[in-house]
Structure 1
């Protein structure tokens, strides 16, 4: 399954990258993120692996991010692996003008196991909707400092 989503962020590209390139900001735009840790490599650099743990309703999910290409401010590519799912994500950041940035995200999913393949076939829009939600949440955080992090 492949799809592309995009969002216009009302900030200069340098500010967008500054907020995106800080792992401490992940909790502010990735709802449900409860923990992350570097597994290997230099954090944020090509080849680095990071474990991301999420609580989504009653379900726990863990992903392993592997950075493939880090060419900020232009692009950032990574893979995300979870049980039954391999996701390749290519992110591009285009400078529209000095105060606006277009974030384009191309996602490619590969599924293993009957359950995941069936879910992807029956509900492909769920994946695209979730990607768009993360992008919109990032936009709200970057522009307005609105966080999705739960308050304890």
Structure 2
């Protein structure tokens, strides 16, 4: 299953890239994040593997995330014509996914965030989930992006909504 979602954020691209790459900020916008810890390497750097635990409802999902691309490596002083790329693979029980994030300047002080996602499922139960609920994955990706937008533009913290 593949899909792409996108939205505009009223912040400069360099600021958006820095917020997305900052592990201290993740719990503020990544709804359901329980844990995100590097197993090796430095957070956000190519080749780094991290243990990720997300809670969705009463269910916890654990996976390993591997950063496969980050360009440019230095997120300060990005030329205006450049596209920022963040790519990662996530492997969990019965599931493999890849996310390819692109940040481009949409105008003065505005960033277009495009997120291309691909999922593959193994095992009968996970294949059934992928077939029966494909819209759920797209909706969740868009929710994460909207939460990030609210955080980046207005400082809204998803943890305050659930407290």
Shorter-chain TM-score bucket reads over 0.9
For residues 54 and 43 of structure 1, what CA distance do their matches in structure 2 show? Answer: 17
In the alignment, does 2:127 pair up with 1:117? yes
What is the Cα-based RMSD across aligned positions, in Å? 1.3
In the alignment, does 2:155 pair up with 1:145? yes
Residue among 129, 136, 139 paired with 1:129 = 139
For residues 136 and 43 of structure 1, what CA distance do their matches in structure 2 show? Answer: 23
Within 5 Å, give how 1:5-20 maps onto structure 2.
5-20=5-20
Aligned position for 1:51: 51
For residues 56 and 127 of structure 1, what CA distance do their matches in structure 2 show? Answer: 12
In the alignment, does 2:9 pair up with 1:2? no
Aligned position for 2:113: 103
Aligned position for 2:38: 38
Give the deviation of 1:58 after TM superposition.
Answer: 1.2
The CA deviation string for residues 74-116 of structure 1, in whole angstroms up to 9 with x for no partner, is 1110001111110011000010122100000000111000111
Give the paired residue count.
Answer: 152
For residues 25 and 42 of structure 2, what CA distance do their matches in structure 1 show? Answer: 18
SS in 2 for 1:64: strand
Residue among 75, 90, 94 paired with 2:104 = 94
SS in 1 for 2:125: helix
In the alignment, does 2:27 pair up with 1:21? no
The CA deviation string for residues 97-148 of structure 1, in whole angstroms up to 9 with x for no partner, is 2210000000011100011111111110000000000000000000000011
TM-score by length of 1: 0.95
Give the deviation of 1:63 after TM superposition.
Answer: 1.9
For residues 18 and 10 of structure 1, what CA distance do their matches in structure 2 show? Answer: 14
Aligned position for 2:71: 71
Higher mean C-alpha deviation, range 100-109 or range 25-34: 25-34
Unaligned stretches of 5+ in structure 2?
76-83
Unaligned stretches of 5+ in structure 1?
none
